[in-house]
Amino acid sequence: MEEQGGKKRGWKKGRKFTQAHRDAISRAKTGQKYSDEHKKAISEGLKGRKHRLITRMKMSLAKRGVAQPASPKRSEGQRARWAAWRAVREAEQAAVARALACSEEFERTRTRVDDELANQGLVREAAVQEMGALRRDVFAWMTRRARETGEQPSLEEVREVAPDIHGKFIRYLALRDLVRDT
């Protein structure tokens, strides 16, 4: 290893082993209990090191579900402020609950009217979508038929040659009138 300008070149910390071997070491050490001195030494050795994304994710998952005691670190004034905010929030929630309890009949009526309006819109939307699908089928068939015969097919010819397309065309006309009327 060469030393140039006080830095080690060609060597990176933690890269003596293969990835599989490092993963095996990590699995073997998972769950071990270390003394405070050992933890401090590990922490000192890792200062300034940037972990890989997978390692950061594992570290994050390891801390999940651990409750951190935050309230003892707050000052007395901050605790009082939080208590006041909590009291205001609980009072607001109680007022909202009372208002909702008083207006149950209004809610039921409003919900019923909203549902009726929504259903009307959904019926129209469903008709528009079905009409689009029928139009694609019918006009694609009519275009193919016009290419084959050299002229546009008449309604009687469609009824004789392709009764399913004739039924789709009749359904398309009925839906078109329904959408125009609503």
Q: Say whether pTM exceeds 0.85.
A: no
CA–CA distance, 76 with 87 (Å, rounded to integer): 17
Is the pLDDT at 117 greater than 70, yes or no?
A: no
In angstroms, the Cα distances linking 65 to 39, 60, 61, 154 are 21, 10, 9, 72
Task: Say which residues have a Cβ less than 8 Å from residue 134's Cβ, sequence separation at least 6.
Answer: 168, 169, 171, 172, 175
Residues 97-111 have a mean pLDDT of 66
Residues 4-30 have a mean pLDDT of 73
Is the pLDDT at 151 greater than 80, yes or no?
A: yes
Residues 120-146 have a mean pLDDT of 83
pLDDT band with cut points at 50, 70 and 90 for residue 17: confident
* pLDDT attached to residue 127: 80
Instruction: Answer yes or no: are the C-beta atoms of 172 and 128 closer than 8 Å.
Output: no
Instruction: Answer yes or no: are the C-beta atoms of 152 and 142 closer than 8 Å.
Output: yes
